[in-house]
A and B are shown apart, each in its own frame.
Chain A
Amino acid sequence: MAARRLGGSSWQQVVSLSRRCCLPGGRRERYRCSSSSTALGKTVENSGVTQEEIVLPRRKTWDKLAVLQTLASTVNRDPTAAHYMFQDDPFLMPRNAANSRLFSLSKESGRNAAKYIIKQFPQYFDKTFAEPNIPCLMPETLTPQIEGVSEEALKERIHLRRVKDAVDLFDQLVQAGTPVSLETTNSLLDLLCFYGDGESASEKEEEEKEDLEEPGVNASEQKAPKRQFQRGSRSSGSRWRENNNAERIFKIMPERNAHSYCTMIRGMVKHGASAKAYDMYIDLLNERHKADVHTFNALITAVPYLKERFLERWELAKVFLNHMAQQEVQPNLLTFNALLKTLRRCGGVGRSMSLLVIKEMEALDIEPSLATYDHLLFIFYRGVDLSPSGIISEVLDDVEKRTFTPQDPDDANFFATAMQTCCDLKDIKLACRLNKAMEKGDNWKFLDMDRLNAYWSKFFSLLCMMEQIDVVLKWYKEMSPSLFYPTPKNILDLLQALDAANHLEVIPSVWEDMKQLGFSRRQDLLEELLSLMSREQHPEEIQLAFAKCAEDIKAVHEPTGREQAPLEWTGSALGHVAVLFSRAGRTQDAWNMMERFQQINRIPTDQVMDEFLNCAKQTNCPDEAIKLVKLAASLGLPSSQRLKSRTEKEFELSEKQKKTLESIKSDSDSSDSDSDSDSD
């Protein structure tokens, strides 16, 4: 930073600036780069006071990312562009949420395809061109090297996570009578329990071709670090089968230690066999072993599957906690998070007990993570009448002060839950506080693409409800499309906000956005849009703009020759479009609309017909007026009489036209006998 500022300012200014930089910003990462600032500061001081001895500062070492991190901190979000990962070809920038998800999945899928090729054909990728060599781009050697039936070979296969091979080798060893050490058997059990007798990803890939549609699904078991769309590995698809390999091996083990029991319990809980896990735990106690903290955490998460009634669930959880205390196992953050997760499913009991849990955490000096707060908010704010408790502001107080590091897979849910709560409470201030907390430090990283969209979407709806229109429009311009893609609900809320603020002239630009977002075929949005535009008369240019929108909407309803079937007209939509055309003086277009009413078996309202007549009068098209009267008569509308008299009065009709008009009268004779004698 000091280096950048050297350009324009004098030396003294630079020094004072750099001193200002480094003094308060000791904690901030940005200014870490100003390496020479402390040295400068010291020398200036020294020049003033000659008695001071010169203390040379120690040489600073920077980690490899310091330069890049500083540079990255200078770049802000571009509000007009899509996310960086889509910036390749402007044509390929996604315009709405569905597309953005699709594109990012395709990008990830491309990467996975490339990795697959490298893995399948390593013989083509053996030359190392790069100096120094880049190991992560080279094919990995995953084939086991050690052959033969030995414990070493078994260990290698376990390490390479080849489940089937390891089990086969173990069976061979047992049959041959070779003793397998307890440690190796335990690590084999670990492997089996983790994968639940399914296969690890490397084996899956060998057997079947990767599904390129949903690469995210495989990600839960893959070795490569997962990127987006990761919801955390919940219990994987394979369920715990009766007498699977893990159970079988467990039974034939000559000796077992606490680790064996613990890993079995964890595996059973992970794969949905909660009752068995509980039985296994009882066995562990009978053998006088001690479980470790992870096992207890797993047992606590399994409580909702073991008991039905709320109080019983809580009692069982307390039993486990008491056992922990007795066995002198220290609980950690995950213990309490698991406890709160169980309390989520305990209704009212959960509400009373969760606070006790929080106080317990405090007493043990365990700092809550975002998952803790997420569970709390869920317990207090979801599912029942929102009692006005101050929990959420207290939670926000805590969250605002800290930056968080991920400690629990459920941390990612916090911001979404919190924003949902703010929206339910209709509190915009809380939402703003939440935003600030999210933008602090690295907290933004907890929201992945999907959640980010949902988060901002909810925030925007709240804004539309609660804030002034200029604030809403400002946020709208800033946030979409770079931060989120508005959902149809957002557009509806925006339209309503515009209506409330009497700012309907913005509607044409909203329509443009709607077209970009791909909402131009949604009936509900179209109805809302049309009714807002046609409700009142507006000044000339706005009316023309509205008519242009109406034309676009009309185009949506026409057959385009592409795959999409044209939208069906509804009576109200047709009427609105006709009104809009009429008000803009586009008589021919308006007449086109009027003609369609019969096609869809609908009747135009009086207002529509009056507007059309007004339009015809202004544009001086008596023929159209006569056509209208004919139409009304043929439809047998009661207003046809009125229209006829209006036409007679307001238009200058030629003789022929007058005759035509009168002849229409005779059509309506049959239906309108009373007025007949009067009008003639």
Chain B
Amino acid sequence: EKDESTASKDSATEVASKSREGTAETPKQKLLDLIGNMKVEVSYRNKLQQLKTREIKKQATNKLEGPDSEGSMLQKTTEDTQRGKPLNPELVKAASAVASSLPLNKKQTESELLAQLRRHEETTDKQKKGGTINIRNVISEMAVKRQSPAQGGLRISRRISLELDEDGHRIKSERLSPQSSDSRRSLKVGRRLNIFTKASKETENALKTVSSPTIWDLEFAKEIGAITAQPPRNGFEEMIQWTKEGILWEFPIDNEAGMEDDAEFHEHIFLEKHLEDFPKQGPIRHFMELVICGLSKNPYLSVKQKIEHIEWFQKYFEEKKELLQEI
């Protein structure tokens, strides 16, 4: 009997789903939907207990006649009312209506449907008596829609958290989110996204195309630099800042900083080599040596200018020599 009942349950669900798919939006379809979406009510408890016993009796006895089944069912139910709370007559009627509409064995269908109802009651009983009611399980047993429990849980949690955060209320509640994993969370262990792959060195270098920095890049660099630009904490840091800006001399001090001078110091001071074209003796030489002495002390002229000076003198004295010699 039990095997039969389980088999009948399976087929009942099959039948139920088939009938849901098959028939159009008839009143019977609506009734079927009603059965499918049925919420368990407390008043059924005793009724279905009776139904159970009656069902077993029914299966044990031989099959009743077809057209009489409805009437006998009703009779039976009236009998039940004498014993205890009967099944909801509407449901029974609905079940029998369904059974009569289907081409299969009507009694069989009816019994199967009623067995399904019974099962709902049993589940409720079990969970009412037994410990906590797991709403999720009850909902899934009802087979309302095809939905995995996990997804359902996530949806619910998402909806709750969305409502809270979108409403702007600071109600802290995310009970249904997977909180058990929080305490185990760590940066070290875990999976990765697996979206990217590490570029090899060659591709990296190939991808680096040199282009002049755009305004975006320049401004970004400025922004980054400004993050750590804190005011100096002491005089030395202030001097460091000034040195970076170019306001302060750089230590160790190079007193030729900023001077563009190609020549070394000795070229400024030892200018005698430029006197080779002059006579070795005489007032001109004496004069030129004084000129050289003055030039070597002159910090304002470049070497080129000094050489030009000497050459000017040389030219001058050349001209004068001709004059002198004329005379």
Interface residues of A (CB under 8 A from B): 64-69, 71-72, 75, 77, 83-85, 104, 131-137, 161, 187, 190-191, 194, 225-228, 230, 232-233, 263, 266, 294, 308-311, 318, 321-322, 324-325, 330-331, 347-349, 351-352, 355-360, 362-365, 376, 380, 383-385, 387-391, 394-395, 398, 405-409, 411-412, 442, 444-449
Interface residues of B in 230-244 (CB under 8 A from A): 230-240, 243-244
B280 in the interface (beta carbon within 8 A): no
* Residues from chain B with Cβ under 8 Å of A389 in the complex: 182-183, 185
A411's closest neighbor in chain B, by CB?
Answer: B227
Q: Which of B186, B194, B223 contacts A232 (CB 8 A)?
A: B223
Question: Contact: B193 with A365, CB < 8 Å?
Answer: no
Bound Cα distance A41, B177 (Å): 65
Chain B 194-214, CB-CB to A under 8 Å as 1, else 0, gives 111111000010010000001
Interface residues of B in 87-145 (CB under 8 A from A): none
7 tightest CB-CB pairs across the interface, nearest first?
A: A132-B258, A72-B236, A359-B192, A445-B228, A64-B250, A387-B182, A406-B227
Bound Cα distance A133, B232 (Å): 24
* Residues from chain A with Cβ under 8 Å of B214 in the complex: 187, 190, 263
Q: Are A132 and B227 also in contact (CB < 8 A) when A384-B174, A394-B188 are?
A: no
Question: Contact: B224 with A406, CB < 8 Å?
Answer: yes
B314 in the interface (beta carbon within 8 A): no
Main SS at interface, chain A: helix
Q: How many A-B residue pairs have CB under 8 A?
A: 197
Question: Contact: A84 with B235, CB < 8 Å?
Answer: yes
Question: Contact: B187 with A394, CB < 8 Å?
Answer: yes
Chain B contact residues (Cβ within 8 angstroms of A): what range? Answer: 35 or more
Please indicate which of the listed interface residues B219, B226, B257, B258 has the most CB atoms of chain A within 10 Å of its own CB. B226
Q: Which of B178, B233, B239 contacts A352 (CB 8 A)?
A: B178
Q: Are A65 and B233 also in contact (CB < 8 A) when A325-B196, A442-B228 are?
A: no
* Residues from chain B with Cβ under 8 Å of A65 in the complex: 240, 243-244
Q: Which of A83, A134, A387, A391 contacts B179 (CB 8 A)?
A: A387
Bound Cα distance A132, B260 (Å): 10
Bound Cα distance A131, B244 (Å): 17
* Residues from chain A with Cβ under 8 Å of B197 in the complex: 325
B192's closest neighbor in chain A, by CB?
Answer: A359
B311 in the interface (beta carbon within 8 A): no
Q: Are A225 and B228 also in contact (CB < 8 A) when A69-B240, A135-B246 are?
A: no
Question: Contact: B232 with A85, CB < 8 Å?
Answer: yes
B21 in the interface (beta carbon within 8 A): no
* Residues from chain A with Cβ under 8 Å of B190 in the complex: 355-356, 358-359
* Residues from chain B with Cβ under 8 Å of A360 in the complex: 192-196
* Residues from chain A with Cβ under 8 Å of B162 in the complex: 308-310, 347
Question: Contact: B229 with A227, CB < 8 Å?
Answer: yes
Question: Contact: A225 with B198, CB < 8 Å?
Answer: no
Taking the nearest CB of chain B, how far is it from the CB of A407, in angstroms?
7
Question: Contact: B177 with A348, CB < 8 Å?
Answer: yes
Interface residues of B (CB under 8 A from A): 157-158, 161-162, 165-166, 170, 172, 174, 177-179, 181-183, 185-188, 190-199, 204, 207, 214-216, 219, 222-240, 243-247, 250-252, 257-259
Q: Are A225 and B240 also in contact (CB < 8 A) when A190-B215, A321-B195, A347-B161 are?
A: no
Main SS at interface, chain B: loop
Bound Cα distance A310, B162 (Å): 7
Bound Cα distance A322, B193 (Å): 11
Question: Contact: A357 with B257, CB < 8 Å?
Answer: no
Question: Contact: B223 with A68, CB < 8 Å?
Answer: no
Question: Contact: B226 with A348, CB < 8 Å?
Answer: no
Bound Cα distance A634, B318 (Å): 125
Q: Which of B204, B225, B233 contacts A406 (CB 8 A)?
A: B225
Please indicate which of the listed interface residues A134, A136, A187, A348 has the most CB atoms of chain B within 10 Å of its own CB. A348
Question: Contact: A85 with B231, CB < 8 Å?
Answer: yes
Q: Are A84 and B182 also in contact (CB < 8 A) when A364-B198, A394-B188 are?
A: no
* Residues from chain B with Cβ under 8 Å of A358 in the complex: 187, 190
Bound Cα distance A233, B221 (Å): 12
Question: Contact: B246 with A318, CB < 8 Å?
Answer: no
Bound Cα distance A321, B245 (Å): 42
Q: Which of B226, B246, B258 contacts A136 (CB 8 A)?
A: B246
Question: Contact: B227 with A356, CB < 8 Å?
Answer: no
B238's closest neighbor in chain A, by CB?
Answer: A84
Q: Are A321 and B196 also in contact (CB < 8 A) when A85-B232, A330-B204 are?
A: yes
Taking the nearest CB of chain B, how far is it from the CB of A313, in angstroms?
11
Question: Contact: B236 with A388, CB < 8 Å?
Answer: no
* Residues from chain A with Cβ under 8 Å of B228 in the complex: 405-406, 442, 445-446
* Residues from chain A with Cβ under 8 Å of B215 in the complex: 161, 187, 190-191, 194
Bound Cα distance A161, B219 (Å): 12
Bound Cα distance A65, B252 (Å): 9
Bound Cα distance A318, B193 (Å): 9
Taking the nearest CB of chain A, how far is it from the CB of B252, in angstroms?
7
Q: Are A325 and B195 also in contact (CB < 8 A) when A68-B239, A194-B216, A394-B187 are?
A: yes
Bound Cα distance A589, B252 (Å): 68
Question: Contact: A228 with B193, CB < 8 Å?
Answer: no
Q: Which of A137, A228, A390, A405 contacts B231 (CB 8 A)?
A: A228
Question: Contact: A77 with B233, CB < 8 Å?
Answer: yes
Q: Which of B166, B182, B183, B250 contacts A308 (CB 8 A)?
A: B166
* Residues from chain A with Cβ under 8 Å of B165 in the complex: 310, 347
Q: Which of A84, A132, A233, A398 contacts B219 (CB 8 A)?
A: A233
Question: Contact: B192 with A356, CB < 8 Å?
Answer: yes
Question: Contact: B199 with A330, CB < 8 Å?
Answer: yes
Bound Cα distance A103, B325 (Å): 82
Q: Are A68 and B236 also in contact (CB < 8 A) when A84-B231, A227-B229 are?
A: yes
Known: A356-B193, A358-B190, A359-B191. 7 other contacts (CB 8 A): A72-B234, A132-B258, A161-B215, A308-B166, A318-B193, A355-B186, A360-B196
* Residues from chain B with Cβ under 8 Å of A376 in the complex: 187
Please indicate which of the listed interface residues A318, A387, A442 has the most CB atoms of chain B within 10 Å of its own CB. A387
* Residues from chain B with Cβ under 8 Å of A133 in the complex: 258
Q: Which of A134, A194, A445 contacts B246 (CB 8 A)?
A: A134
Taking the nearest CB of chain A, how far is it from the CB of B245, in angstroms?
5
* Residues from chain B with Cβ under 8 Å of A66 in the complex: 251
Question: Contact: B216 with A390, CB < 8 Å?
Answer: no
Question: Contact: A395 with B198, CB < 8 Å?
Answer: no
B222's closest neighbor in chain A, by CB?
Answer: A225
Q: Are A348 and B174 also in contact (CB < 8 A) when A84-B235, A394-B188 are?
A: yes
Q: Which of B181, B192, B195 contacts A322 (CB 8 A)?
A: B195
Q: Please list 21 pairs of residues, one from A and one from B, whose beta carbons are closer than 8 Å in the complex, sorted by A's number.
A: A64-B250, A72-B234, A84-B238, A134-B246, A136-B246, A161-B215, A225-B229, A226-B226, A228-B231, A311-B158, A330-B199, A331-B196, A348-B177, A351-B182, A356-B191, A364-B198, A384-B172, A391-B185, A398-B187, A442-B228, A448-B230
Question: Contact: A226 with B158, CB < 8 Å?
Answer: no
* Residues from chain A with Cβ under 8 Å of B199 in the complex: 330
Question: Contact: B247 with A136, CB < 8 Å?
Answer: yes
B247's closest neighbor in chain A, by CB?
Answer: A134
* Residues from chain B with Cβ under 8 Å of A348 in the complex: 157-158, 161, 174, 177
Bound Cα distance A389, B235 (Å): 44
Bound Cα distance A411, B223 (Å): 11
Bound Cα distance A73, B185 (Å): 41
* Residues from chain A with Cβ under 8 Å of B239 in the complex: 68
